[in-house]
Structure 1
Amino acid sequence: MVNRLTFDDDLFLRSERVLGIPVTNQSVWRFDREIPAAELDELAHRLGTGRLGRLVARSAVPGARARWVPSATIPPVAVHPFAISPDEVLSWADDEAAQPLDPVRGPGWRLAYAPTGAGGSVLSLVISHVVGDGGVHVSSVVEAVRGISAGRPPWAPARSWDDVRDAGGQLLRAARGVLGALRAPKGSALPPGTQVSKTRPPEGVDAPQRPPFAVFDCDADSWDAAATSRGGSANSLFIAVLTEILLASGRVVADAPVKVSLPVSDRGEDDDRSNATTGVSIAVTPDGGRVTDLAAIRAASKRAFTTATDPTPARLLEPLVQLLPDALVAATAENSPVPLCLCSNLGELPQEFAAPTGVPATSIMMRSVTGGTSPALLRARGGGVTAWLTRTGRTLTLAVLALDPDHFPDTDALRAHTANTLAGWSVPAEAWS
């Protein structure tokens, strides 16, 4: 069977090819010792012979989806030529995330390593979002550690008839999707007056700039205790913290609910899709500048998660969108806002992921990186904050990206709002410099 790109795969491919906005996923491991070169090379080899070893092959038949083919090469580990200081780690990670990847010609991923001046080291894995989402990111490393070569597409040249049949299937799926969308219930489940992101005309600097980004290692026991004290979970506290960061910045007001977007994995067993993530939304209601009712957030999240795979009009129209020409997709994207508040909780990381070469990491930061953004573009898309939370042993690592250049003018402002919010919850935290 020919392995075709899903709607989400195609969406990220077009973001890069049509809009010039590549999206990548990055993990950064911090170690208290150095890693031998031979172990890094072995990890890279195993990653390349697993599910990361795939590239996009486009179809010549209009309407037929592109397919996945195995990559013929494995990119070598990019080793930094000299030790970096601890306060250069995030800058080094930013540089690694900005390295060009190509999911069509390759490579679609990059492994990099640098010793640190404190006698430790850092490791970065960057994967094109076309090649894989967060689930693929984690599973590819776990499988590499276990020596499992899973998810690599088989070499099966597509015949013309296969592409013709796929194009016909897409047309049929698109027609059914349009009919389903017309019959599906309309409207939002969010309460009236909920604060959401909205697009507006671009203003200000249009040259690419890295938006403010901050990372904190938090004491997991204190985080759990704070959540429990308010009837919540680690995830509901995560949502509350991000909402309070928005409140502190003035991006949202305290007298109306705030829309919070929550990614949800739709990946099943033996699922070889590159992207298998959907999402739900809840409304979080501040009270006097704080968000302390974690029980309500927890209940709302559970209700929303049960609807993650419901056939909404947007999901039903995905086959049609995948058939649209690039120019029309680009025009549609201009009117698509980015989330006001997006909380991606990656949870407890598997032991193999936390120690990809056998050496356990002291902390792990995971994030998505969008290239080619500028203050003008961010202002036009109406975003707020996006964050990722990971747990490694007794450390929770919180990574926060600010997408509003007016309320988060620089990294210092974002770091201050985040530090103050964590202190308000009595969670000890140490910032990555």
Structure 2
Amino acid sequence: MTEMNRLTADDDLFWKVHRLYGPLLVVQLAWLFDEPLERATVQRFHEHLSYGFLARRVVTTRFPLARPWWAPALRALPLDWRTEPVRADRVPDWLAAQTDTDLDPITGEVWRLSAAPTATGGTVLSLVASHVAVDGGGGLFAVADALERLRADASPDRAASAGRLVGDTLSAGLLRAHIADAVAQVRAVAAGIRGAIRARAVHEPVRQPRPETTPVALANPFQPADLLVSVPAADWNRVAAAHSGTANGLMVGVAVGVLGRSGRVTDGAVRVEIPRSMRGLDDPRGNASTGVAVAVPYRHGERTDLARLRAATKRAVTAHDDPATTPPLQHLQPVQVLLPDALTRRFVRTSKAPICLCTNLGDSAKLVADIAGIRARAVVMRPVVRAGDPEFFRRAEAGLTVAYSGDGETVTLAVAGVDPDRFPDRDTLRRHVAAELTAWGLRPRFW
């Protein structure tokens, strides 16, 4: 009996969000080239993606307690090839517009590749994928595999590419597979409840309450303000080292400083969520990450102490990796998987979004910067929260997201202000980000 690639707890969470709100959460990988890309080249890249790690769909079952699983996609959205040039100052808007697309995990139409010429003779390229299908690490893995096959002039082939990891629908033994998974889920729930009880004295960093503020009059739906900003990697690393920190710590320090400048947080500890990749070699999971909550000291008018932040992060990661000190909610993930949509909807109404979410993809951008011998001037990957009711974001007490990606020469931050009253527009967000980076002695270049 072939082992099925069942949805993980993270996959399931994003799948539930998709069913309740549609493609609210997506990931985007974007390239900016100074030279033009040929349409035939991009089309071949698209074909490799169509048979690769991204080409997956959710297969559901009514068998009690058995989880959905991944199978090869039935179809893919066609290449979106534009001919109207994009001005340099409109690139961020063009990229944001590409995230507004219908994605369907049931058919496997979970990603879209778009390209357009730039007014300066180059190309801007965007790959948007549903967070149900992949996290940032999964998206980079899918793209790196497709680009490697493109460089090798290989034919699109699911069996020979990372598409082989997706899995397939069983032609026989399906009932036995569902029974086995249902039994495994019951055992996982029992173990999770026992673990949560043992860890009931473990507490995560507390959230600062959202400061009272006068609501800003905004359009509905509200699209969270976003921007892309680049800094020379040598400058970034030099500043981090000068303050006894790391490149990751500097990103977190900048994010907390931006929140402070906006008035979203006050003096004290700021809870920052830091995703950690758990992806292994030939890992079939769409989402293979976990989150660690770190209490980051903040004092108005001061830069974040990167040495203290480094120590706090190390303590949080060590505690998270020990089952005895893993927070109770982590143990209860198997319970979350079995919750029906009606109950999930009730929990979502009262759940809170991260005040600060900092995703670090390291220098992985250099793995995907070259397409058919043409190297991108800049590459960025970012999580994107699509437009919604401003009251939804206020109720969820959303704050700020920052994603770091580098290619060895340049560090690019993708910043999104999800608090509609603190970051009502891109100009406000840019003002806070520019002031914070300047305070660290960095010279930002905004896209």
Shorter-chain-normalised TM-score: which range? over 0.9
Alpha-carbon deviations, 1:63-83, whole Å to 9, x = none? 110011111334331101321
Alpha-carbon deviations, 1:67-122, whole Å to 9, x = none? 11111334331101321111221111111111111111231111110100111111
2:278 aligned residue (266, 269, 272): 266
| Distance in structure 1 (CA, Å) of the matches to 2:343 and 2:393 | 21
Contact 1:74 1:107 in 2 (8 A): yes
Deviation at 1:401, TM superposition (A): 0.6
Matched, 1:430 2:415: no
| Distance in structure 2 (CA, Å) of the matches to 1:104 and 1:72 | 9
Alpha-carbon deviations, 1:179-217, whole Å to 9, x = none? 221222424254xx76366999x9976832211111111
1:82 maps to: 84
Change (3 A) 1:350 1:239: closer
Change (3 A) 1:104 1:123: same
Alpha-carbon deviations, 1:134-162, whole Å to 9, x = none? 11111111111222611232353462232
Q: Mapping of 1:17-416 within 5 angstroms?
A: 17-20=19-22, 22-147=24-149, 149-150=161-162, 151-157=165-171, 159-190=174-205, 195=208, 207-253=220-266, 255-311=267-323, 312-416=327-431
Question: Secondary structure at 2:44's aligned position in 1?
Answer: helix
Alpha-carbon deviations, 1:230-249, whole Å to 9, x = none? 11111111111111101111
| Distance in structure 2 (CA, Å) of the matches to 1:356 and 1:278 | 30
| Distance in structure 1 (CA, Å) of the matches to 2:422 and 2:413 | 20
Letter in 2 for 1:214: L
Listed as ranges, the gaps of 5+ residues in structure 1 are none
Q: TM-score, normalised by structure 1?
A: 0.93
Letter in 1 for 2:347: T
Contact 1:206 1:377 in 2 (8 A): no
| Distance in structure 1 (CA, Å) of the matches to 2:6 and 2:211 | 33
Contact 2:404 2:413 in 1 (8 A): yes
Change (3 A) 1:237 1:351: closer
**Count of residue pairs brought into register by the alignment:** 428
Contact 1:205 1:376 in 2 (8 A): no
Structure 1 stretch displaced more, 212-221 or 149-158: 149-158
Q: TM-score, normalised by structure 2?
A: 0.90
Question: Secondary structure at 2:319's aligned position in 1?
Answer: coil
Change (3 A) 1:35 1:328: same
Contact 1:203 1:380 in 2 (8 A): no
Change (3 A) 1:327 1:227: same
| Distance in structure 2 (CA, Å) of the matches to 1:252 and 1:366 | 26
2:157 maps to: none
Listed as ranges, the gaps of 5+ residues in structure 2 are 150-159
Contact 2:210 2:264 in 1 (8 A): no
Letter in 1 for 2:168: P
| Distance in structure 1 (CA, Å) of the matches to 2:318 and 2:406 | 24
Work out the percentage of aligned pairs sharing the same amino acid: 38
